[in-house]
Structure 1
Amino acid sequence: MRILGIIPARGGSKGVPGKNIKLLGEFPLLAYTAKSALASKYLSKVILSTDCYDIANVAKEFGIEVPFMRPEHLATDTASSIEVVQHAISFFEKQGEFFDAVCLLQPTAPFRMNGFIDQAIQKFINDKSDALVSVLPVPHEFNPHWVFEPNEEGLLKIATGEAEIIKRRQELPKAFFRDGSVYITKTEVIKEGSFYGNQLSYLENNPDFYVNIDTLNDWEIALSKLPLIKSLL
């Protein structure tokens, strides 16, 4: 199976200006994802998709290919990730290069366990699913069976639609949220406009590695995790 690894990193960033090439400890933020991607045995090619030459140059320093510059209309706040990936697929197919699946690796989720990308790819292949996402458990107090939403009368109802709330924590079914570390999707599913398809598998991540950098507070959390991350790798 040929799998294209894509690291998306546009130039505009409001929450943390210039975050993709801002130093997080010893290295630019982008470098953490670059190193994990290049260590993968299963990614056939790893590229960067960006509209920013400064980001492109940093990526090249860490061994990442930058085969094209992303068009401006795909580098706005409203541009979707699926469009960015579709653009990359189209670029290669026009050159006669085809991939069975795409592995999206967001630099804003910089920390990954050694071998985690390959574990995800192997599970994706074994499960024969349309896609796979890395996940973490939802804390029980935020489990959808304990979450309420307002109805048309302005009163609360259980978000799952159940008539009665589950009383005991031990009876709650497992629930997960996407941690942003790894997304793997069949190319044909991406062409149809979805990252998930009809059959979505998952790989549970280590919560010690979790941070998703959108704000300066997230950046401080990432900095505080660096000593622990180094000890776990």
Structure 2
Amino acid sequence: MMKPEVLAIIPARGGSKGIPRKNIRPFAGYPLIAYSIAAGLQAETVRRVIVTTDDDEIAEIARHYGAETPFLRPAELAGDRTTDLPVFQHALTWLAEHENYHPDIVVHLRPTTPIRPPDIVDRTIHLLLAHPEADSVRGVTPVHQNPFKMWLLDGEDKPIRPLTTVPGI
């Protein structure tokens, strides 16, 4: 089998409200986003690392740490309620239309997850390739708390409430 074309996409918008500029705030001496860029660049399976952002400063920092920023994300895809799907669709459509680039596999690296085992990206890609019946792999972490002791922030000016009272959970 030929080596698949693997693209890592790091979504990093500039307008974070909870922690302003969180994606470029220092964490252990480096901007937070630098860790996700490094994870993608160090992975043997990943061919390209792209940061999709609406923010010139984030784009500049991303390039400094080795990521590509071939476009700036449109403002309508950088809102508080924008989900990942349209952000990734925009990135993949842009790459297809402007570079005729069509990756076989896309890896989603969140800048807010700076601590990853060094080989986790490669192991994940190999796991996906070993299971042709699968179309995706998702990393999860076991919860070490009882759900009846977990709480959810219910919006900006609303109180917290027990997780078990949320519909669908």
Q: Say yes or no: TM over 0.5.
A: yes
Q: Which residue of 2 aligns with 1:102?
A: 106
Which has the larger Rg?
Answer: 1
1:44-94 superposed Cα distances (whole Å, 9 cap, x missing partner): 211000000000010111011100000110011121111000011101111
Alignment of 1:1-233 (within 5 A): 1-94=4-97, 95-128=99-132, 129-139=134-144, 141-142=146-147
Instruction: Give the match for residue 227 of structure 1.
Output: none
Rounded to whole Å, the distance in 2 between the matches of 1:150 and 1:98 is 39
Specify the SS of the correspondent of 1:137: coil
Aligned-CA RMSD value: 2.1
| TM-superposition CA deviations, 1:147-170 (whole Å, max 9, x none) | 95599xxxxxxx89xxxxxxxxxx
Offset, 1:140: 6.3
The Cα of 1:132 is off from its aligned counterpart by 0.3
What is the alpha-carbon distance in structure 2 between the residues aligned to residue 148 and residue 103 of structure 1?
Answer: 31
Identity %: 35
Shift of 1:29: 0.5
- Structure 1 position 42, deviation (Å): 0.7
Whole-Å Cα distance in 2 between the matches of residues 115 and 46 of structure 1?
A: 16
Q: Which amino acid aligns with 1:82?
A: L
TM-score, normalised relative to structure 2? 0.82
C-alpha distance in 2 between matches for 1:65 and 1:20 = 16
What is the distance in 1 between the residues matched to 2:131 and 2:121?
A: 15
Q: 1:84 to 1:148 in 2, by over 3 A?
A: closer
Unaligned residue ranges in structure 1 (runs of 5+) = 152-158, 161-233
Point out where structure 2 has 5 or more consecutive residues left out of the alignment: 149-162
User: Partners in 1 of 2:94 and 2:139 — Cα distance?
Assistant: 27
Q: What is the aligned residue count? A: 150
Q: Provide the rounded CA distance (Å) in 2 between the counterparts of 1:114 and 1:25.
A: 17
Counterpart amino acid of 2:137? L
Q: Which runs of 4+ in 1 moved over 6 A?
A: none
Tell me the distance in 1 between the aligned counterparts of 2:40 and 2:123.
12
SS of match in other structure, 1:31: helix
After superposition, give the CA deviation of every residue in 1:106-127 in whole Å (9 maximum; x if it has no partner).
0011111111111111111112
**Greater strand percent: which structure?**
1
> 1:196 matched to which residue of 2?
none
Aligned residues of 2:147 and 2:164 also touching (Cα < 8 A): no
Q: Write the distance in 1 (CA, Å) between the matches of 2:100 and 2:64.
A: 27
